[in-house]
Structure 1
Amino acid sequence: MRTFLLLVLVTGVLGSAVGVVYARHLHRQAYIALSGLEHDRDELNIDFGRLQLEQATWSEANRIEQVAGNRIGMRYPTDDDIVVLQP
């Protein structure tokens, strides 16, 4: 009986030790995945900031004016082009 109890306790201790090792292994894997995701998040935030700056640059009024004049030939109307209608 005593040997059986000792065997059960040793098996329980070994099983518990294996469980602890496995849990630590899972924890390390999750931490590595978290670190990778945080790095990806930081890179995406940098890209997003860069894109916001680029959008702000491309949408400035003088840039739009320049593109409108050069690419599609838009220009401000002259006085002769303006017609005032009276009600």
Structure 2
Amino acid sequence: MEMGRAITVDLQPLLNAGCLLRLEGAGQPRAWLKVTIPDGRFIGSNFGDCLNFDCRSIENSANGWMEEWLIENSVPYAHG
């Protein structure tokens, strides 16, 4: 079984790529970031101050579409 990996992207590159960022549950202990890409698809982040999500691989992960979008739009990763 292939291990997962975390992809982390800082907020400014996401904004530069046209993403809408919304902090869900602001002020709550479990606040999280909702990142909506320009075509309307969205992904939730594990944290509120960056996009962070697990992606085993582009081909085998439910989040692979987001990694593809990041690559296609030249959005740099902070880690991953």
Same fold (TM over 0.5): no
Normalising by the residue count of structure 2, what TM-score does the alignment of the two structures yield? 0.22
Which has the larger strand fraction? Answer: 2
Per chain length, whose mean CA-contact separation is higher, i.e. which structure has more relative contact order (CA < 8 Å, sep 6+)? 2
Which has the larger helix fraction? Answer: 1
